[in-house]
């Protein structure tokens, strides 16, 4: 591979990095969107009701997949009907932002 090929490869790699950074989720936007979630999952992502899951410190990818599954009505049982209703109006960006927010919180709310 000659210098020209390295230069082109570097430009493409930088472009891919920049687009990834530009599309990164916004935890602050997720925090604003999470107000409705607090009723069940707690202000700090730690549920006060034992049967509701804690979201604080949860894996970001898992949260995105779980919320998307509720949105697409692929999850059932428990409180799925409530979660499906909550997730229905969320965009992919909203879901990514919520996941980033809850993942950024310390597990256990401390």
State the Cα–Cα distance between residues 25 and 96, nearest whole angstrom. Answer: 5
Give tens-digit pLDDT for 36-54. Answer: 999 999 999 999 999 999 9
Give tens-digit pLDDT for 77-96. Answer: 889 999 999 999 999 999 99
Backbone phi, psi, residue 92, to 5°: -60, -40
> Stretch 60-76: mean pLDDT, rounded?
97
Taking the CA atoms of residue 90, residue 92, residue 93 and residue 99 in that order, the dihedral angle to the nearest 10 degrees is 80
Q: Which residue has the tokens 């995105």?
A: 64
Greater confidence (47 vs 13) lies with: 47
What is 26-109's CATH number, 1.10.760.10, 2.60.40.420, 3.30.390.30, 1.20.810.10?
1.10.760.10
- Domain limits of the chain? 26-109
């Amino acid at each position: 591979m000659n210098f020209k090929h390295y230069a082109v490869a570097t430009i493409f790699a930088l472009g891919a990095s920049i687009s990834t950074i530009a599309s990164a989720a916004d935890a602050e936007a997720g925090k604003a969107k999470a107000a409705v979630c607090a009723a069940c999952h707690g202000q700090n992502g730690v549920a006060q009701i034992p049967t509701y899951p804690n979201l604080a410190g949860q894996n970001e990818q898992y949260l995105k997949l779980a919320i998307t599954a509720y949105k697409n009505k692929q999850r059932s049982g428990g409180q799925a009907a409530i979660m499906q209703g909550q997730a229905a109006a969320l965009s992919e960006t909203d879901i990514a932002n919520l996941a980033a927010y809850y993942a950024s919180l310390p597990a256990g709310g401390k």
